Amino acid sequence: MTIDLAKLWDFNKPDVSEERFRSALLTASGDDVLILQTQIARTYGLRRDFSKSQQILTDIEPQLEKSSIEARVRYYLELGRTYSSATHPPESQTAEVRELARSAFLQAAELAQHGKLDSLAIDALHMMTFIDTASEEQIEWNRKAMVLMQSSSQPEAKKWAGALHNNTGYALHLLGRNEDALVEFKLALAAHEQGGNPPNIRIAHWMIAWTLRSLGRLNDAIEIQLRLEKECDVAGEPDPYVFEELELLYEAAGEKEKSEFYTTRRKATS
């Protein structure tokens, strides 16, 4: 791909991203045209217009036979996301739909590994956690993705470290394995600090504090959340999740007035 997709994406604004992709289409050629269309399809998935997303992919499917491996990988990856993703309501996830998603994601993963497109292979493997949703199964898929990431020499693949450690930590937390979860969340923090993205770093600290609360380490958790409160306020992005944690932490510590203070802050930003 000759176009840097990362520079065109704003996952918080899929409509803006679509405009950028369509603008890039005006001067694109060859497989870049197909790849850009897969990303346009994804923008509709993020907006929960899965039928539109599928229609775009259906339109380009006849061209895949003579396309590059990357174009085919991205097609199957986005096709899978039209069936199962973080934006799908739970009631939509029937057994039939899950199997359609599974087939697409596994095809994407196999093609990507064959084409040495490690980041896309990791993406496909991590999407399997939306199909196999038991925590033990999610941990296994994350581990497979992590093995591939750790063995890869490709910078794009290494960027998955924070997300994979975070997702593994979350699954371990749901299993009540909070000490193990804490290890994963600290690894996620280290990865995000290396990446240098402030919002991701704050989220990683929040996950650590969240786990510390579950471990009964209230003072340590409060210290982190108070620091996050200040950082978010300075950034002009007060975070209701930080306020909710402080509300719960002070309640657990028996400090009713402080807990009520953060109840008020949370309600004001929700």
Residue 260 falls in which region: left (phi positive, over 0), alpha (psi -120 to 50) or beta: alpha
Q: What is the pLDDT of residue 18?
A: 98
Listed residue (143, 136, 139, 81) closest to 108, CA to CA? 81
Q: What is the pLDDT of residue 126?
A: 97
State pLDDT tens for residues 25-35: 999 999 999 99
Q: What is the pLDDT of residue 87?
A: 93
Go through the domains of the chain in sequence order and give each one's CATH number. Answer: 1-150 (1.25.40.10), 160-270 (1.25.40.10)
Q: Round to whole Å and give the CA distance between 50 and 65.
A: 24
Query: What is this structure's pTM?
Result: 0.92
Asked if 83 and 127 touch (Cβ cutoff 8 Å), the reply is: no
Q: What is the pLDDT of residue 226?
A: 98
Q: What is the pLDDT of residue 131?
A: 96
For the chain, the residue count is 270
Low-confidence ranges of the chain (pLDDT < 70): 1
